[in-house]
Amino acid sequence: MGERLAAPRRRASSGAERDPEVTVFDGFQIDPVSTTVSGFLTPLSGPITTRLAYNFRSKFKSGDDRGTPMWQDDYGTLDGTFNYAVNSHLTLTVDAQNLLDHKLRYFVGSPSIPRAYYDYGQTFYAGFRLKY
């Protein structure tokens, strides 16, 4: 897997208004327990190559809605790619996104108060690559 790069962060300057354990980046408070996990599986050689990748982001504060904290709920996606090299010049490709059909949910204060719900569905692509 590639190297993980982190954006520079700074602590809140005044503990009176903000929780000192919350990191602030460009004016947004970042929940310190939010995590992002990703992984992938790729065979190394042959005319057929595949890749499966799962990305997960735990619940995090995404902003405020009329003075009340707004949160994005846990979100995970499974994506896949299949390539078949017909010859040294032509490769057929199939890509799939959000195979688990996960929905994105935002809520205000608690999960029982929904704010937004996004159903992007599954997406499939087919194509080819030419090398000359």
Domain locations along the chain: 35-130
**Angle formed at CA 2 by CA 122 and CA 106, multiple of 5 degrees:** 40
Phi, psi at residue 45, to the nearest 5°?
-150, 175
**What is this structure's pTM?**
0.63
pLDDT per position as a tens digit, 12-22? 333 334 444 45
Degrees (nearest 5) of the Cα angle 105, 108, 113? 75
The per-residue pLDDT for range 20-41, each reduced to its tens digit, is 445 555 555 555 555 555 666 6
Q: How far apart are CA 13 and CA 48, in angstroms?
A: 54
Can you state the percent helix, strand and coil of the chain, rounding each to 5?
A: 0, 55, 45
